[in-house]
Amino acid sequence: MSSEEPENIWKKSIDVIRRKGCGKGEPKTLLEKLRWVTLGYHYDWNSKTYSPDHFTPFPEELHSLSHKVAAACGFPGFNAEAGILNYYRSDSSLGIHIDESKLDHTRPLLSFSFGQTAVFLLCGTKREDRPTAMFMNSGDIMVMSGPSRLLYHAVPCIISAPAGNMLPPCLGQRLETEAQDDDIIQSVSEEDWDVCSWYMQTSRVNVTVRQVLASGQTFPSSQASHLSTDSCEKSEKGTPKNKKRKSKPGYELDT
């Protein structure tokens, strides 16, 4: 995907969203159809590899945030090299899976949640192990490190917000003028923020960040490291074949 395409998805969607009514039969915009985006080292869902040739600069602000969060949790020197954004709609789910890696496991995996609440299932080292269910609310950060990196986990469903409380208050507030020195805030107009607010009323955005290589480590000669990472929920196109999505309550196992 070229650097212009993500911007085009936004531009092609916002005007339609601003004109949207309440009818359920209206066609979905590209933004509403979007299910996942990769950052930094881009994961190849087919070969399950990372490659030094398939890379774009990791967002500086997210890198800095991840570094600080990891350090606060006892992991100094964390280097954010790859990220996945999963876009969950109200009917989305993530099948039970495990993140396997032949590389370094001493670095944690960071997970940031925004928008609507999700049910997160943390299982054991076997699929049949009884899961522990927990809510992942907007603003929650999960750090998976050590043995937890090799536990099965899933997101079976998104919890719809109660009527009249569709969006967490912190996401519904308009941008304050005194905060406009920040480059990120400057790039978001009030009109764009209205679209973001509308989107988040029925959606969840989850950002997972990981360090691909240990300190001093390089990619193998094949120029790819075989890793299994978080998959996105099933979409109409481009869905990883080893993940399933269930439309009814509950979750399914990988095939």
Residues tagged in the binding site annotation for Fe cation: 97, 99, 153
Number of Cβ within a 10 Å radius of residue 167: 18
Q: What is the DSSP letter of 76?
A: T
Q: How far, in Å, CA of 208 to CA of 107, rounded?
A: 13
Binding-site residues? 97, 99, 153
**Please, which contacts does 52-56 make with residues 24 or more away whose CB atoms are closer than 8 Å?**
52/219, 52/223, 53/223, 56/3
Phi, psi of 179 (to 5 degrees): -95, 10
Helix-strand-coil percent breakdown of the chain, rounded to 5?
25, 25, 55
Q: How far, in Å, CA of 231 to CA of 239, rounded?
A: 8
